[in-house]
Amino acid sequence: MASRHPPRVVEWADRFAPDLEVFEAIASQTLAQLPREIIAQCGHLQITLAEFADEAILDAMGIEDAFELMGLFEGNGLTQGAAELLTGQMPNRIWLFRRPILDYWAAGTESLGNVIAHVLIHEIGHHFGLSDEDMDAIEAAAED
């Protein structure tokens, strides 16, 4: 019996939303494609994945809707002397939040890989000491 649905429908019919393991694989692939000079500067940077930011993070940032935060950089950026990890100091960490990323992806026109890569690279920018405004200006210049 031939399918009455186009191939794309059949392709998606039995799929589930990617889990944290898939997100980790996509983030790892993104990191592997970054220039070595950038990777070398990431040092002890940890990447952690979670479904959502916890309430303490949302409260500290004044965010009421957990879907508004797709990623977060925690720590001291390189411009703040974070090149060396001191005894007892927590390493810098990037959080990627699966559900907000999926929500953004589902409402947009970008591939999931591009959205994850964008969030990850944005947070790495904070590790390098760039502000949101700095990164917005870099992206705008790249689009011109």
Output phi, psi for 122, to 5 deg.
Answer: -60, -45
Output phi, psi for 72, to 5 deg.
Answer: -155, 140
Q: What is the average pLDDT across 43-53?
A: 91
Q: How confident is the model at residue 134 (pLDDT cuts 50, 70, 90)?
A: confident
pLDDT value at residue 42: 82
Residue with tokens 């303490």: 56
**Residue 95 CB: number of other CB atoms within 10 A?**
21
C-alpha closest to that of 49 among 105, 106, 2, 102 = 102
What are the sequence ranges of the domains in the chain? 17-143
| 59-118 residue pLDDT tens | 999 999 999 999 999 987 777 655 555 555 677 899 999 999 999 999 999 999 999 999
Could you tell me which CATH class the domain 17-143 is placed in? alpha beta
**Pair 91, 46: CB distance under 8 Å:** yes
Q: Can you give the pTM of this predicted structure?
A: 0.83
